[in-house]
Structure 1
Amino acid sequence: MDDNLRRRAEEWLAQDPDPETREELRAILAADDGDALTARFAAKLEFGTAGLRGELGAGPNRMNRVTVLRAAAGLAAVLGPGRRVVIGYDARYKSDVFARDTAALLSGAGIRADVLPRPLPTPVLAFAVRHLDADAGVMVTASHNPPRDNGYKVYWGDGRQIVPPIDKRISAAIDAVGRVDTLPRGDWNLLGEEIVDAYLAAVTPLALGDARDLRVAYTPLHGVGADTLERAFAAAGFPAPRTVPSQHAPDPAFPTVAFPNPEEPGAMDLALDLAHRIDADIVLANDPDADRCAVGVRTPDGHRMLTGDELGGLLAEHVLRHTSGPGRLVATTIVSSSLLSRIAAEHGVGCAQTLTGFKWITRAGGDDARLVYGYEEALGYSVGTDAGLPVRDKDGIGTALAVAALAADAKRAGRTLLDLLDDQARRYGLHATSQLSIRVADLSLIEAAMDRLRSAPPTRIGEHAVEAAEDLRTGSADLPPADVLRYRLAGGARVVVRPSGTEPKLKCYLEAVVPVTATVEEARARAAQSLKEMEHDLSARLAL
């Protein structure tokens, strides 16, 4: 075993307040397990624009109480005394402990620390930062990651996730933190249910229109969304959704799903089964921290899930029909469908493209922009009204209200969300998207695959000639630097390739655009074939 790693482990052990991780580390040292020690101490979780996220366990390369206390101390150093921070947490393992540790450490640094009353959705925390006029917010969550993960997301006083250079300042301050067992602690304040009531009052107007007749099947996927969503539906006047019983209560083990992510194969099986049994008009799902929303629709062959881009286009027109006046702006990311730009042009409003992540979407157009809607294809949506966005982050509860209102309005007219999708295809062309996502055990494989694409740029992808290739590593006129390759293809198609920011995956985002010259079904089949050929071509090129 490496003597330097052993020394670092013993120093860590001496300051660790958690008996579970102390026991874990003692067992590793006693067994002289060099591989386990290397995995925990040869690297560290890096604090970035997504904060921290990683597997629970001992050491700097894991999420644990020492890592969290160091993060809180770094945040405190950047903020300085006399500030106010709101702290929220989900129902994952250790989330409540990490939230309390953060609050105590901030309070010891002279910062007022307010903790949400119980495990709650991430959008409640994002809302609370602005509502309480706080200087920052912390949300302890790993969103839809596997059960053994947790994370630490930081918001600034504007209610948005942090971006550079704030993240770099916090990261540098974390690196300067010494032993955490010597840092002072203080008392913190537990907020009451009034903050949840205020959030619900803010998002209820997102149920645009007055149609309310709708039968909904719902799952929170063992997360924290159920109570808040059910209260939101009641406040907006919708019938109570029917929730999957075995997935209703928060459970950090996520026992009924392999991955607690509505996009993952099998995750929606129980909700789709419930929808079939009750003949639901739509299916709704939140991920474990309820900042994402997935939607399924009834078809002649059973219920199917909409893609993130399909829902993104539907909600865009819904919002633009219910808002008015000059200066409206909608925004999406460079990996999402180009359909939003066509919808925006049709409605005479501005459309912005950003890098992936709501930290960028909610900053589209600058602080004075009249942003009424933003979305990303990974089931993230922020819906607004003429007054703007009530939550400056993705919001799975507010989105669910907006979707329910849209579906109820269509039902009253004898139509469905599928009919609305067909309307859009005829008006704008069929915009079909898919994703090739490759999980790897070694992150160096992703770097090598990106290098291969850079050194030998493709001239064709599938049936489409490459008309333009763009490497965003050094940024562009309207985008900051990012490890992203973007290809514009003949016929309006496009491909974007990037490493995931939160998981060991390489992601390729594909889009085919097909005009509807005969039937929508025929155009859909042509688009599906085009996407299949593009995916096959990319898989061969990436060789992962």
Structure 2
Amino acid sequence: MSDLRTRAEEWLAQDPDPDTRAELQAILDAGDGGALADRFGARLEFGTAGLRGELGAGPNRMNRVMVMRAAAGLAACLPPGGRVIVGFDARHGSRQFADDTAAVLSGAGLHPEVFADPVPTPVLAHFTRSFDDVVAGVMVTASHNPPRDNGYKVYQADGAQIVPPTDTEISAAIDAVGPVNELPLGEGWPVHDTADLYLDAVSSLRLGDAGGDLSIVYTPMHGVGRDVLLAAFDRAGFRAPIVVPEQAEPDPDFPTVAFPNPEEPGALDLALDLARERGADLVIANDPDADRCAIAVPDADGWRTLTGDELGGLLAEHILHHTTGDDRLVVTTIVSSSLLRAIAAGHGVRFAESLTGFKWIMRAGAPSDRMVFGYEEALGYSVGDDRGVIVNDKDGISAALAVAALAAGARRDGRTLPDLLDDQARRYGLHATAQVSVRAADPQVIAATMARLRQAPPSRLGGRTVESLDDLTHGSDGLPPTDGLRFRLAEGARVVIRPSGTEPKLKCYLEVVHPAGDDVAAARAKAAADLDALRADVSAALS
């Protein structure tokens, strides 16, 4: 307790934030050892995802001290005098964190430029790659995390997220930073007050004609995507989407959703209600920083939300129909559907598989490849045309435009997106996917579960024999090592289990593949039953 108290008092002496100072002083005055241990017994670790965590005082929280230390560590790893683009979302503390970052970078001899207002993450990523003298980008965001969280993402000069060893170099430099109240701080820096550079790129995508009569309901999920998406649709010639009014304005408390993630049950309820009321053709949702895109469409049973893998397959084929050249590359991750491999083979283009996350997707393939599409099952897509992808990260706004063009083209042909999914099932086989997630408040539980599965792996899952097990900590198929297990099952089924990189939970990715023939409905029913059996066995194996 005395050591924790000493660390807390040292922290208090350097903290520039009156709110976190008051929080910490109240804990010290109350002698609350548990609260001190929670804040000072561990710390947020800087990694390839930067920093992300709950707001509050201490090294195990997101706060101004942690942000200033991160900025100072980043500055120590950048060439002197370079430009750094800084963006921020509308979460609690984001604007202040962006200003603190700029002040530290400026004091270290760099030239920061900050957006005047909150922006979507893909806007920051695109700006970072667009100037020869930009050496890094910083985005203050916690994406789709709960309201109490915030985060700090770092981009390399190419507009892609950092990967090892850059993360460890920055982390080591952060460790060497002294008290933040002793850092030299600059003041006054250029401000970006428009997203036009990004909008010009997105609206010039050549992926089919605009659908002027397409009726779209859109929700930004209380985030920052609305204004940029509406401007992009207008420039591209699309009819303005109908915005869900209750979720239209940025609100860091996300009052209408339990969890601001379009993947979560109930997150799209307001959008679907409005779509039914208006007789819309399509629902599009972004997460709060607009780097993810979710889609729902009407079908025979009402409205259907497409999975990330389903939309990934549709977008891939749409983009390949609108691009040319055998140097084209499409990329997905080891936990996403194997359908993309089949689509690439069918179109005679190059395919690559990466570790989970767009930091890896954007670095897949060979230097001679021209990436036109990358996606991961968690609703992340990077779209392009013959020029290649326009953002070296996931981008929910350009993906929304591509979906709108896809849906408009299908409508002109008298088809629907479910019709196109059935066409793919007949052509490539039905690739059906599902997930199992298990939350654990104690990270040690996650580590112990992974260790147990390595030592005593199941021999059967979902009624199928486990034919092989890849321990991804040793690397696999030329990929870097990662904490994960891949079970290859009989008849082309697959299960991948890994700890989440951003949340305290284990994530399991299930896939079965069935020939569809002329009876796609029967194949879907069989696949659903197989996935249920897999889900039950995987859940039991994790308990």
Moved more, 299-308 or 346-355: 299-308
How far apart, in 1, do the equivalents of 2:419 and 2:123 lie? 33
The 3-state SS of whatever aligns with 2:264 is: coil
1:265: Cα distance to partner? 0.8
* Counterpart check, 1:528 vs 2:528: yes
Letter in 2 for 1:260: P
Letter in 2 for 1:22: R
- Please say if residues 286 and 396 of structure 1, whose CA atoms lie closer than 8 Å, have aligned partners that are also in contact: yes
User: What corresponds to 1:56 in structure 2?
Assistant: 55
The 3-state SS of whatever aligns with 1:50 is: coil
1:463: Cα distance to partner? 1.9
How far apart, in 1, do the equivalents of 2:196 and 2:202 lie? 10
The 3-state SS of whatever aligns with 1:107 is: helix
User: What corresponds to 1:462 in structure 2?
Assistant: 462
Deviation digits for residues 2-30 of structure 1 (CA, Å, limit 9, x no counterpart): 10000000000000000000000000000
Letter in 2 for 1:284: I
Instruction: Normalising by structure 2, report the TM-score.
Output: 0.98
Q: How does 1:89-238 map to 2 (within 5 A)?
A: 89-133=88-132, 134-194=134-194, 196-206=195-205, 208-212=207-211, 213-238=213-238
Deviation digits for residues 417-476 of structure 1 (CA, Å, limit 9, x no counterpart): 000000000111111100001111111111111111111112111121111110011212
User: What corresponds to 1:400 in structure 2?
Assistant: 400
Letter in 1 for 2:193: E
User: What corresponds to 1:65 in structure 2?
Assistant: 64
Moved more, 197-206 or 229-238: 197-206
User: What corresponds to 2:424 in structure 1?
Assistant: 424
- Please say if residues 85 and 112 of structure 2, whose CA atoms lie closer than 8 Å, have aligned partners that are also in contact: yes
- Residues 1:36 and 1:148: Cα distance change in structure 2 (over 3 Å): same
User: What corresponds to 1:15 in structure 2?
Assistant: 14
Letter in 1 for 2:381: Y
User: What corresponds to 1:304 in structure 2?
Assistant: 304
Provide the identity percentage: 67
- Please say if residues 225 and 286 of structure 2, whose CA atoms lie closer than 8 Å, have aligned partners that are also in contact: yes
User: What corresponds to 1:29 in structure 2?
Assistant: 28
How far apart, in 1, do the equivalents of 2:193 and 2:522 lie? 52
User: What corresponds to 2:73 in structure 1?
Assistant: 74
Letter in 2 for 1:384: G
How far apart, in 2, do the equivalents of 1:445 and 1:275 lie? 42
Letter in 1 for 2:494: R
- Please say if residues 23 and 57 of structure 2, whose CA atoms lie closer than 8 Å, have aligned partners that are also in contact: yes
Letter in 1 for 2:77: V
Letter in 1 for 2:328: R
How far apart, in 2, do the equivalents of 1:52 and 1:367 lie? 30
1:368: Cα distance to partner? 4.1
User: What corresponds to 1:374 in structure 2?
Assistant: 374
- Please say if residues 114 and 192 of structure 2, whose CA atoms lie closer than 8 Å, have aligned partners that are also in contact: no
How far apart, in 2, do the equivalents of 1:421 and 1:148 lie? 38
- Please say if residues 370 and 388 of structure 1, whose CA atoms lie closer than 8 Å, have aligned partners that are also in contact: yes
Moved over 2 A (4+): 187-194, 366-369
Letter in 2 for 1:18: D
Letter in 1 for 2:196: D
Moved more, 107-116 or 462-471: 462-471
1:211: Cα distance to partner? 4.0
| Aligned residues: CA RMSD | 1.0
How far apart, in 2, do the equivalents of 1:325 and 1:477 lie? 26
How far apart, in 2, do the equivalents of 1:108 and 1:57 lie? 25
- Please say if residues 86 and 113 of structure 2, whose CA atoms lie closer than 8 Å, have aligned partners that are also in contact: yes
How far apart, in 2, do the equivalents of 1:12 and 1:366 lie? 47
User: What corresponds to 2:255 in structure 1?
Assistant: 255
The 3-state SS of whatever aligns with 2:385 is: coil
1:207: Cα distance to partner? 5.7
1:164: Cα distance to partner? 0.5
1:349: Cα distance to partner? 0.5
- Please say if residues 486 and 496 of structure 2, whose CA atoms lie closer than 8 Å, have aligned partners that are also in contact: yes
> Gaps (5+ residues) in structure 2?
none
How far apart, in 2, do the equivalents of 1:326 and 1:46 lie? 42
The 3-state SS of whatever aligns with 2:150 is: strand
How far apart, in 2, do the equivalents of 1:193 and 1:179 lie? 33
The 3-state SS of whatever aligns with 1:137 is: strand
Q: How does 1:333-412 map to 2 (within 5 A)?
A: 333-412=333-412
The 3-state SS of whatever aligns with 2:364 is: coil
Deviation digits for residues 139-172 of structure 1 (CA, Å, limit 9, x no counterpart): 0000000000000000000110000011000000
How far apart, in 2, do the equivalents of 1:482 and 1:227 lie? 38
- Please say if residues 113 and 188 of structure 1, whose CA atoms lie closer than 8 Å, have aligned partners that are also in contact: no
Moved more, 126-135 or 41-50: 126-135
* Counterpart check, 1:485 vs 2:485: yes
The 3-state SS of whatever aligns with 2:218 is: strand
How far apart, in 1, do the equivalents of 2:367 and 2:139 lie? 23
* Counterpart check, 1:3 vs 2:2: yes
User: What corresponds to 1:275 in structure 2?
Assistant: 275
- Residues 1:367 and 1:157: Cα distance change in structure 2 (over 3 Å): farther
